[in-house]
């Protein structure tokens, strides 16, 4: 869907159309800014929050059926009516909150449990909405079976190629750090994260909605700090393992990646005999 839509947007820009005006000033933005995703995420947000009701019949995420040629006139009209909102969306970094990454994270956490057998204090840099901090509360399907809670409407399933180590995970603390954290327990935060999912990717949308439902059942702990100062003064505990996870950090923070990794290494150096795992 988005491939066809971006082709139409590109043709409109080349013809000096409306989208050329909306995108004006972003011609030289670096690729890591993901300008196309910002634009289409802003448009998707208009559909999801009801400001663009005429597009609902074209967007699979709202029960519609995509038809590029038929939808384009409606898209142009919506873009004209909400040009300011789309321009504002271009200044907002996308936060995809890909909860499918929890399938890899839970494997790492199970390995940590296998090696140390201790409760875990989980810290995540680049946590966004903190959905992957709840990796132990989802259900997973692997080639060799299942792991996690019994199937429930509020829980998603992820697919991986091999079974993780046997056992369970006990997370006693969850701390997410992000320069722009999102609270998905409210409608605005939910719409923000959903808007960045491609409308025709039904499985991703279903997983994300399930993860949001889980988040609303548990306490949120995601603080807006570019670097976790608390770690620097926290000596750790010998009876608790500390696991540090990076999500989509390398692209998200650019030059700050090195400083954040240095902070993690500093954390490990001062932890003494307390186990520290970097996932």
Q: What pLDDT is attached to residue 254?
A: 46
CB count in 10 Å sphere of residue 215: 23
Q: If you average pLDDT over residues 22-43, what whole number do you get?
A: 95
Q: If you average pLDDT over residues 17-23, what whole number do you get?
A: 98
How far is 43 from 109, CA to CA, in rounded Å? Answer: 37
Percentage of the residues of the chain whose pLDDT score is greater than 70: 72
Q: If you average pLDDT over residues 204-228, what whole number do you get?
A: 75
Query: Per-residue DSSP letters for 218-265?
Result: S---EE--SS-HHHHH----TTSEEEEEESSHHHHHTTHHHHHHHHHH
Alpha-carbon separation of residue 239 from 120, 139, 271, 275, 276 (angstroms): 9, 27, 12, 8, 11
What would the pLDDT profile of 115-163 be if each residue is shown by its tens digit?
A: 877 888 888 888 888 898 888 888 887 777 777 765 544 444 555 555 5
Checking if the pLDDT of 58 tops 80, the result is: yes
**Domain segments of the chain: what residues?**
2-89, 99-278
How far is 141 from 203, CA to CA, in rounded Å? Answer: 14
Token representation of residue 241 = 């393992």
Secondary structure class of 39 (helix, strand, coil)? helix
- Between 181 and 230, where is the model more confident? 181
Token representation of residue 41 = 């995420």
How far is 40 from 28, CA to CA, in rounded Å? Answer: 18
If 0-12 CB within 10 Å is exposed, 13-18 middle and 19+ buried, where does residue 113 land?
buried
pLDDT confidence band for 193 (50 / 70 / 90) = very high
CB 183 within 8 A of CB 130: no
Q: What is the pTM of this model?
A: 0.80
pLDDT confidence band for 227 (50 / 70 / 90) = low
Q: What pLDDT is attached to residue 151?
A: 52
What would the pLDDT profile of 84-126 be if each residue is shown by its tens digit?
A: 999 999 999 888 778 888 888 888 888 888 887 788 888 888 8
pLDDT mean across residues, the chain = 81
Range picked from 39-48, 206-215, 221-230 for highest mean pLDDT:
39-48
Q: What pLDDT is attached to residue 78?
A: 99
Query: β-pairing, 222-223 with 157-160?
Result: unpaired
Checking if the pLDDT of 265 tops 60, the result is: yes
Q: What pLDDT is attached to residue 16?
A: 97
Q: What pLDDT is attached to residue 252?
A: 40
Token representation of residue 82 = 């909400």
- Between 185 and 2, where is the model more confident? 2
Alpha-carbon separation of residue 212 from 18, 39, 165, 176, 194 (angstroms): 35, 23, 27, 15, 10
């Amino acid at each position: 869907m988005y491939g066809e839509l971006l082709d139409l947007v590109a043709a409109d820009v080349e013809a000096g159309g409306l989208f050329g005006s909306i995108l004006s000033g972003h011609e030289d933005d670096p690729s890591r800014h993901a300008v196309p995703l910002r634009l289409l995420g802003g448009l998707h947000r208009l559909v999801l929050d009801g400001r663009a009701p005429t597009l609902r019949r074209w967007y699979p995420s709202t029960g519609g059926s995509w038809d590029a040629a038929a939808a384009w006139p409606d898209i142009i009209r919506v873009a004209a009516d909400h040009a300011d909102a789309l321009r504002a969306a271009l200044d907002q970094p996308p936060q995809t909150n890909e909860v499918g990454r929890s399938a890899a994270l839970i494997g790492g956490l199970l390995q940590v449990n296998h090696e140390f057998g201790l409760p875990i204090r989980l810290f995540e840099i680049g946590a966004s909405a903190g959905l992957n901090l709840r990796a132990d509360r989802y259900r997973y399907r692997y080639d060799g079976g299942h792991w996690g809670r019994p199937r429930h409407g509020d829980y998603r399933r992820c697919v991986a190629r091999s079974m993780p180590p046997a056992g369970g995970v006990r997370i006693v603390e969850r701390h997410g750090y992000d320069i722009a954290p999102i609270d998905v327990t409210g409608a605005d935060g939910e719409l923000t994260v959903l808007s960045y999912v491609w409308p025709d990717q039904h499985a991703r949308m279903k997983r994300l909605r399930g993860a949001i439902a889980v988040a609303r059942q548990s306490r949120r702990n995601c603080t807006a700090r570019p670097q976790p100062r608390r770690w620097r003064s926290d000596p750790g505990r010998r009876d608790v393992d500390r696991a540090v996870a990076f999500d989509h950090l390398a692209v998200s923070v650019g030059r700050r990646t090195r400083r954040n990794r240095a902070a993690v290494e500093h954390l490990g150096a001062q932890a003494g005999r307390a186990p520290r795992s970097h996932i």
